[in-house]
Amino acid sequence: MSTSPRRRPAKSRCIDLALQGGGSHGAFTWGVLDALLEDGRLQIDGVSGTSAGAMNAAVLACGWARGGAVGAREALSEFWHALGGAPGCWGALAPPAGMPPSSPAWMFNRDQWPGFAMWESWLRQWSPYQLNPFNVDPLRDLVAAHVDEQALREGPLKVFVTATSVRTGQPHVFSGEELSIEALLASACLPQTAQTVVIDGEPYWDGGFSGNPALWPLIYGTQTDDVLLVQINPLVHEGIPRTAIEIADRLNELTFNASLVAEMRAIAFVQRLLRDKRVDPTRYKALRLHRVADEAGLAPFDASSKLNTDPRLLQTLFELGRAAATRWLTEEAAAVGQRSSLDVEAVFLAGRARPGNK
């Protein structure tokens, strides 16, 4: 296995990736990464990921260490195909009997299944320690089978994985020698469905509570000035949530976007100070920000589908991600190294998030 840095293609441009978490919706990010790697115009320097985004980052890095862009594409495909239908990963349940191979999006939303509300209500009475006292974790076995810790720590891509300290509520970013299978599981640990992950005596929960994804490690940990955010949690939700399930879904979206919105606002403030020459440009990066998203395409898949690992859902999300990345590559990739293609103030400050990449 080679872990030495690879020579960049003659016309490649360098970029960092920021990958959001969102359970099975991480298959959208798989599609985005597949299109970026196939295109080959952009050289990846660092990757920051949370939860499913951390899984994508780790598998990408390990595949890249083995075989460059081709190896990364193969590794991601193998991981997501192995996860498809795996029981217990992100709380997966079997799909309804008789569900056709090609199904409308709403059929992948678990809260639409008969008896789901009663089942969910019963589950909420118990903690993972009561329901799973032996801490059986299929996700651990899956991640261990697809992530080489040595390649993750020593490979050419810089990887940053965020988890939330249960004790302090603060984000902890694992990188370098700290990277491990346990760090990845900590980043994806939803306390309602999995037992707390303890690393060196410190308990951790899902990184989405404090950094989804964390952007500051890319600012301080790489030399690259371009950051591409792959966003899978919608910023805008049309209409008023009225049912208990709709309210819970919107709360889920707000919770897992809060840290990202806060970081984007801080970045916009610093960028404004740099433009106005009110801070020392040698101490702050003039970041160029980009985004791949498809809020309209992902809208039919509610929060309950994030816990559904049906292979048909993962394939559908993969195709949505590839299409979104292909649009971005066609319309905005030329901006890398030149300017931001994401209007941060319009999307994150004014609340006017658009349905596509901008």
| Neighbouring C-alpha atoms within 13 Å toward the C-beta of 26 | 35
In 3D space, the residue among 134, 30, 9, 46 whose CA is nearest the CA of residue 81 turns out to be: 30
* Most distant pair of Cα atoms in the chain: their distance: 63
Task: Please answer whether residues 190 and 21 qualify as being in contact, where contact means their C-beta atoms are separated by less than 8 angstroms.
Answer: no
Written as six digits, the tokens of 273 are: 């100070």
Written as six digits, the tokens of 354 are: 């658009």
For every one of its 358 residues, what pLDDT tens digit does the chain have, with 9 covering 90 and above? 333 344 444 346 899 999 999 999 999 999 999 999 999 999 999 999 999 999 999 999 999 999 999 999 999 999 999 998 776 565 544 444 445 544 555 456 655 545 555 556 656 777 788 877 888 888 999 999 999 999 999 999 999 999 999 999 999 999 999 999 999 999 999 998 899 999 999 999 999 999 999 999 999 999 999 999 999 988 887 888 887 777 877 888 888 888 899 898 888 888 888 888 888 877 778 889 999 999 999 988 888 788 888 898 999 999 999 999 999 999 999 999 999 999 988 888 765 444 455 5
Residue 196 to residue 303: CA distance in whole angstroms = 21
Written as six digits, the tokens of 277 are: 């020459």
In 3D space, the residue among 170, 177, 174, 176 whose CA is nearest the CA of residue 185 turns out to be: 174
Residue 222 DSSP SS3? coil
Task: Please answer whether residues 5 and 157 qualify as being in contact, where contact means their C-beta atoms are separated by less than 8 angstroms.
Answer: no
Task: Please answer whether residues 47 and 19 qualify as being in contact, where contact means their C-beta atoms are separated by less than 8 angstroms.
Answer: yes
Question: Strand 226-230 and strand 13-19: pairing?
Answer: parallel
Residue 276 to residue 104: CA distance in whole angstroms = 50
Written as six digits, the tokens of 333 are: 């990739």
pTM of the predicted model as reported, rounded to 2 decimal places: 0.86
Q: Which single residue is written with the structure tokens 């978490």? A: 21
Beta strands in the chain (DSSP E): 13-19, 42-50, 158-165, 171-175, 197-199, 202-206, 226-230, 288-292
In 3D space, the residue among 49, 87, 64 whose CA is nearest the CA of residue 186 turns out to be: 49
Q: Which single residue is written with the structure tokens 């595949």? A: 63
Residue 233 to residue 227: CA distance in whole angstroms = 18
Task: Please answer whether residues 185 and 161 qualify as being in contact, where contact means their C-beta atoms are separated by less than 8 angstroms.
Answer: no
Distances in whole angstroms, Cα of residue 297 to Cα of each of 28, 77, 330: 10, 21, 18
Name residue 332's amino acid: E
Task: Give the number of residues written for the chain.
Answer: 358
Question: What pLDDT is attached to residue 106?
Answer: 46
Distances in whole angstroms, Cα of residue 183 to Cα of each of 10, 83, 159, 220, 314: 35, 19, 12, 20, 24
User: Dihedral through CA 260, CA 261, CA 264, CA 266, nearest 10?
Assistant: -110
Residue 358 to residue 291: CA distance in whole angstroms = 7
Residue 268 DSSP SS3? helix
